[in-house]
Every structure is written in C-alpha cells, then in structure tokens.
Structure 1
Amino acid sequence: MSFGDIPTLTTERLVLRAPVLDDFADYAKFLGSPRSRYMGGPFDTRGAWLTFCHDIACWDLFGHGALMIDLRSTGECVGQVGINHGPLFPEKELGWLIYAPFEGKGYALEAARAMRDWAFAGLKLPTLVSYVDQDNARSRTLAEKLGARLDPDASRQDKEDLVYRHVAG
C-alpha cells in the first residue's frame, strides 16, 4: 500500500485521514507531555518523531497504520487512531490517543470503532488487541465499550500491560 492508498474514513462527527507533516507539532506536544505515560512517554522530540514516522511507515510495510482524527465540523485535529504492528507489537494493535482539550467527548470511541471495523472488513483481520497500561482506566473503559475482552494469555511486550482482544463479528 502506498501513501496515496491510505484510506479516509468518516463517521458522524469525524474524518480519519492520513497524517501530514503539519500534524507533527501537536503530536509531539502530546507525546512530550505526562499524558503519554501510558504509552512509554514522555518522549523527547526525537522519540516523538520516530513514533510519528513509525505510524506512517506501517502503511507501506503492513497495509495499515495510523490516521489522524479531525472534527468534521471544524477540520480541527483532535488526536490519532491506528493499527500498530512491527517488532514492538506481538499482534496487530488497535490504539488511540486524544489531545487534552478534546477528551471526554466520545471521539476516541467513535474513531476506534471506525478503525476497528475498517480493519475487520477491509483487511479481513479476525482479531485485534489493545495493549493497555493497567493504570489507564479511561482506555480500559474504552476497550470494554468497544466490546473487547481481557485476554490474559495473549503475548505482550510489556508484561504489566493488560491485553484486550477485539474479535471480528
């Protein structure tokens, strides 16, 4: 899949679209903040850049990756959702992040549902996981709202993470 083949997904309130260079400043600000602690952060600029590039490179390497989350009403970017894979992820992972001013509005749930459904329908994946820090109550709740269930036997890079399994229905 080439960069031009990255899908654009729409929901009632959101547009999920390919990352562009202009997205990096807000992305790096999030990854540099204490809010990224559940993702192994905070990250310096170099670490944020490597993560941003990973999110884009996954499209060419695996046919999936990250999409930025824009509000349909304003075009404002509120976060990111993606299917991660590679040596840091034992299985294909559905992950999400929402920038601080936009938390608590249901955007992560709406975006994650759209990305999950695209992965099941478009990629024909039978399952996905979400690796969640056990102290991240908001992400645990979101995974459960998506219908995912804890999978204590799943492989994980960080032995302390909880693994929520999403199954195609």
Structure 2
Amino acid sequence: MTPPTLHTQRLTLRAPVMADFPAYAAFWASERAVHMGGPKDVAGAWFWFCHEVAQWPLLGHGSLMVDHTAGGQTVGLVGLNGGPKFPEVELGWLVYEGHAGQGYATEAAGALRDWAFDNLGVESLVSYTDADNTASIRVAQRLGAVLDASAVRSDPQDLVWRHARRMQ
C-alpha cells in the first residue's frame, strides 16, 4: 500500500523519505527515546527507521512523518506498528525536541487513528506506553483510549491503552 498523505488543522502527515533520517536518528540518540528502549546509536535508529517505512508495502500500514504545515518543519512521527514485536496493531507517536507540549502528538495520532479505522477494517488499536511516560499517557487519554490491563503485550511492564472504533 502506498502511504497516504493526511492533513489536520495544523499538520501534514506524509511518508518518510531518506532526508528525514538525520532528525529521526537524533531523536533516538537523545534522552527523549528513553521510554522506547533508547537511546540508540545510528544503527539502532536505522533499524527502527526501516521498520517505519517497510510496514507500508508489507502490512498495509506504517508510519508517517508529522510536518507543521505552515512552517514546513518536521515535528515528529506517528505510526501504526505491526509485525512480530506487536501483538496488536499499535498506534504510536514521537515528538522531536522543542516541539513537545503543543498538541502535535494528539492531533497527528487522532488523524492516523481515524484513517486506520476507515481504511484497515480494525475494530481497535492499542498504544503501548512505559508507565513512567506521563506525556504519552496523557496523549492516549486525550485520544479517548482506556487502559486495558488484560491486553497481550511484548513487554510485561508496558501499559496498554485501547482505542476503540467509535460508532457513527
């Protein structure tokens, strides 16, 4: 599947390109990645960058870069993750240094969640969060997700937030 381009009030969500890798690698090298198994070196960042891109042709979903439409600056990434590491399709997000606290993760993740429900035929999505990642927990809650203590998870320490399809 070709990645879609999605638009929100402030953001453009688009397919990753090679020019996105340096900022992505800088995120993984920083303390901002601590709740996601980081920091990671360039090889570790490359592994995850390839994962973000490869899911589109393999699984029909994947990750999108999040650009601030007016300024054109990339502020982070939002993704639908699958494959052996993820027991269910996961809605995930990350925000680059200097862009946290502005609602970008909530806005972008909400747009991708709605796209997934409209295009993938899934009834729910999950978000796996580290129990200490209060910022991501707040995003999940703002998106209307509820804690699902019985959900399967790869990391037994993760909290699992369930996003249910809303009735139309």
TM-score normalised per structure 2: 0.98
Unaligned runs of 5+ residues in structure 2 are none
Matched letter for residue 64 of structure 1? H
Task: Tell me the equivalent position of 1:88.
Answer: 85
Is 2:48 aligned against 1:51? Answer: yes
1-side partners of 2:84 and 2:43: how far apart? 19
Task: Tell me the equivalent position of 2:139.
Answer: 142
Task: Tell me the equivalent position of 1:65.
Answer: 62
Q: CA deviation at 1:128?
A: 0.3
Q: CA deviation at 1:124?
A: 1.8
Is 2:101 aligned against 1:76? Answer: no
Task: Tell me the equivalent position of 1:9.
Answer: 6
RMSD: 0.6
Report Cα offsets for 1:33-68 as digits up to 9, x if no partner: 111011111111001001000000000111000000
2:98 partner SS = helix
Matched letter for residue 110 of structure 1? E
Q: CA deviation at 1:6?
A: 1.0
1:59 partner SS = helix
2-side partners of 1:41 and 1:90: how far apart? 21
1:111 partner SS = helix
2-side partners of 1:26 and 1:149: how far apart? 31
Aligned length: 166
Q: CA deviation at 1:74?
A: 1.2
Unaligned runs of 5+ residues in structure 1 are none
Which one of the candidate residues 114, 120, 123 is aligned to 1:123? 120
Is 2:40 aligned against 1:33? Answer: no
2-side partners of 1:52 and 1:97: how far apart? 13
1-side partners of 2:31 and 2:101: how far apart? 18
Q: CA deviation at 1:122?
A: 1.2
Task: Tell me the equivalent position of 1:102.
Answer: 99
Is 2:167 aligned against 1:167? Answer: no
1-side partners of 2:9 and 2:31: how far apart? 31
1-side partners of 2:83 and 2:135: how far apart? 25
